[in-house]
Amino acid sequence: MKKTIYLLTVFVLILFAACEKEENNSDTEEDNNNEETENKIKPEDLVGNWDFVSLMFEGFLYTSCDPYLTDDYNYVTLNFYDVTETEMRFYNECDNYSHVYEYTIEENIIICGDNSREFQIMNYDTFEGDTLELKLIEPSNYTNIPIGGIYTVAKQ
């Protein structure tokens, strides 16, 4: 009888310990989810000039103006100049296009003023201040830009 009571007590203690451990893991997962949506890159991190390095698009890596790609797409090479905490100038070397946009950063996505251009910051968790990897997310009203392309830009 004493042995049975002892075994039941041990069993109940193991159950409580397992439930407590599971509850602690759930708290940790919740903290991790909150970290993922927090902006790790702030507008002040982007201030300066950013030069085009490459564009990965449809399985190909482009490092300069490609005549075949530029026939169908704008923004083949994309530089970000005169970046402040609220504005940035897009400059495309291939067609000498230049335009200033206001921007914000939400959930590690750079959203340009009129919401026509959004860039997901792909390296937000490894960003060290000198290189950005930006994926062009589908805008609402443009089809002649490399949607889904990943730009690498380097700070001057």
pLDDT tens, residue order, the chain (156 aa): 555 555 455 454 455 555 554 555 555 555 555 455 566 899 999 999 999 999 999 999 999 999 989 998 988 999 999 999 999 999 999 988 899 999 999 999 999 987 778 999 999 999 999 999 999 997 757 778 899 999 999 999
In order, the DSSP letters of 12-80 are: HHHHHHHHHHHHHHHHHHHHHHHHHHS-SS-HHHH-EEEEEEEEEETTEEESS--HHHHHH-S-SS-EE
Q: Are strands 87-92 and 97-106 parallel, antiparallel or unpaired?
A: antiparallel
Show the tokens assigned to 64: 């300069």
- Within its chain, how far is the Cα of 40 from the centroid? 9
Looking at residue 3, its amino acid is K
